[in-house]
Amino acid sequence: MKAYSVILIAAPALILAACASGPKAPVLDNDKNPQYQYEKAVIAMNYGLPDEALRYLDQAVALDPGHAKANRLMGIIRLQRKEPIPAADALAKWVEAEPRSSEGRLYLGTAYQEMGESERAEAEFRASFEIDGNAPAAFRLGRLLMTKGDLATALDYADQAIKKADKESDGHNLRGVILNQMGRYPEAVASFETALGLAPNDPNLMVNLGIAFINSGAAEKAKALFRKALPLLKDPALRDKVRNYLKTAEGRRA
């Protein structure tokens, strides 16, 4: 019997949070003060003006190339704008200034991954995880190692992500994807069921659980999930795939 692959999941979104500025020192000339330019960038971001924020950040790092907070914010904005190369440049300067920042390592690894630099991304994710065992780094390591075919190690990192954030669906979904690839279909079903219980309106999770049911021989359960997911899916290509999955399930005996 042919086994079906589940959907390759996206990483959870990284969250932008502005750093607190702390007490201000007396300033004689704000135009030449990198901290002042950084603080104006934070205000611009609070008003939803990333272009203006970047102008202030450019001034800040021109005055102080190693300004950690300015490079942090610049890197995150560039990453959110799908500009991984300039993002990596800024984030590398942040990490150079604060090498024990697990957040900095995580963002830098994400930039490298978006550049297609998987080895450098893996190194940064590992460094981030080693600092404080954070769930996002464990998740990204698990997903990256899964794509490289190291399923056993990927599964371990998925478990680590779940330990740190067991109420988030992403880690459970990743665990299900890996188990499905390993041919451990009943365990994949259990992981997807947990994920769907945490995010019951997520059609991608419905599809993944349905595929795991097909692979486990539970065609009737798969059909119910595919029918529920179809009207919720926005991607036409994915809808077509699910219709084909549904036809496959309908052609099998429960």
Do the domain assignments include residue 254? no
231-245 pLDDT, tens digit per residue, is 999 999 999 999 999
Do the domain assignments include residue 221? no
Do the domain assignments include residue 52? yes
Domain count, the chain: 1
Q: Which domain holds residue 47?
A: 37-132
Q: What is the pLDDT of residue 154?
A: 98
- Say how far apart CA 127 and CA 239 lie, in whole Å: 38
Do the domain assignments include residue 14? no
Burial class (CB in 10 A: 0-12, 13-18, 19+), 24: exposed
Higher pLDDT pick, 18 / 3: 3
The reported pTM is 0.85
Q: Are 167 and 197 in contact, with CB atoms under 8 Å apart?
A: no
Do the domain assignments include residue 44? yes
Q: What is the pLDDT of residue 250?
A: 85
- Say how far apart CA 204 and CA 211 lie, in whole Å: 11
Burial class (CB in 10 A: 0-12, 13-18, 19+), 86: middle
Q: Is the pLDDT of residue 6 over 80?
A: no
Q: Are 6 and 245 in contact, with CB atoms under 8 Å apart?
A: no
Q: Is the pLDDT of residue 254 over 80?
A: no
Do the domain assignments include residue 76? yes
CATH number at residue 57: 1.25.40.10
- DSSP letter string over 51-95? HHHHHHHHHHHHH-TT-HHHHHHHHHHHHHTT-HHHHHHHHHHHH
67-114 pLDDT, tens digit per residue, is 999 999 999 999 999 999 999 999 999 999 999 999 999 999 999 999
Do the domain assignments include residue 185? no
Q: Is the pLDDT of residue 31 over 80?
A: yes
Tokens representing residue 241 in the block = 């795939």
Q: What is the pLDDT of residue 69?
A: 98
Do the domain assignments include residue 122? yes
- DSSP letter string over 188-234? HHHHHHHHHHHSTT-HHHHHHHHHHHHHHT-HHHHHHHHHHHGGG--
Name which of 38, 49, 43 is nearest 72 in CA terms: 38
142-176 pLDDT, tens digit per residue, is 999 999 999 999 999 999 999 999 999 999 999 99
